[in-house]
Amino acid sequence: MLVPHLCGHQLASGDVPDEPVVTVRAAALEAVATLAAQADQWVVVGTGAGTETFDPGTRGTFRGFGADVVVGLGPGAGADAPADPQLPLPVLIAGWLREQAAPGVSVHARLIAADTAPEECARFGADLRAELDADPAPHAVLVVADGAATLTVKSPGYLDERAEPFQTDLDAALRAGSRAGLAALDPDLCARLRVDGRAAYQVLGGLFAADPADPRVRTLYQGAPYGVGYDVSLWDGRR
């Protein structure tokens, strides 16, 4: 959806503005440009097979997804080292977004295992928030996750009738910045509906757990192109 070389949609002025790919990409680039204006150090949160960390020297390639597009997590990241073809997708996406809209930014990526229990996800988010609050330098957090992949018969996981009401509730929670809504996501149902980002969403809720109220949210995009739920939004806990 985001990387032009992987979906045949180039970054060009001739793109049709209301094409889903173009709309999602524009929203994502706007979001990361906003983060870059506020902080030149980011932590990226995503899900993976296990809990892993990646520093700004990391380089990877989308070769396994169809094109040898090389990205890095920091300026001049490992320029002399080969790009890792096995780098997890959330890290690759973060690297691509950084290079497109914020090339001066340094990124530390932290993946949490996709099957992590909700309370552990919340603790992961709360611990990350405490760590960042203790550093006087400004930081931004970029959460890379997706919603249900079972919304239509053409979805990657085919159609599940439970997916549409689930996605409606998830969209509402994300629009409202509802920490309770994210905490309530059921791991078993999410696994059946192919909500691969469930754990990352619950880390997001944990990031704001200590605040007196839910964060303010500016939603740039919500939709389900090609049968997968997507949200692009900016969350701000400052009051």
Domain ranges of the chain: 4-236
Percent of the chain with pLDDT over 70: 95
CA atoms within 13 A on the CB side of 21: 14
The pLDDT assigned to 112 comes to: 98
The pLDDT assigned to 225 comes to: 86
Global confidence as pTM: 0.93
Superfamily designation of domain 4-236 = LigB-like (3.40.830.10)
Low-confidence ranges of the chain (pLDDT < 50): 9, 11-14
The pLDDT assigned to 12 comes to: 47
The pLDDT assigned to 39 comes to: 96
Question: pLDDT, tens digit, for every residue of 104-114?
Answer: 999 999 999 99
Query: Are 223 and 233 in contact, with CB atoms under 8 Å apart?
Result: no
The pLDDT assigned to 17 comes to: 56
Instruction: Give dist(CA 33, CA 30) in Å, integer.
Output: 5
Contacts of 56 (CB under 8 A, 6+ apart): 72, 73, 74, 75, 77, 106, 107, 108
Question: pLDDT, tens digit, for every residue of 164-181?
Answer: 999 999 999 999 999 999
The pLDDT assigned to 16 comes to: 54
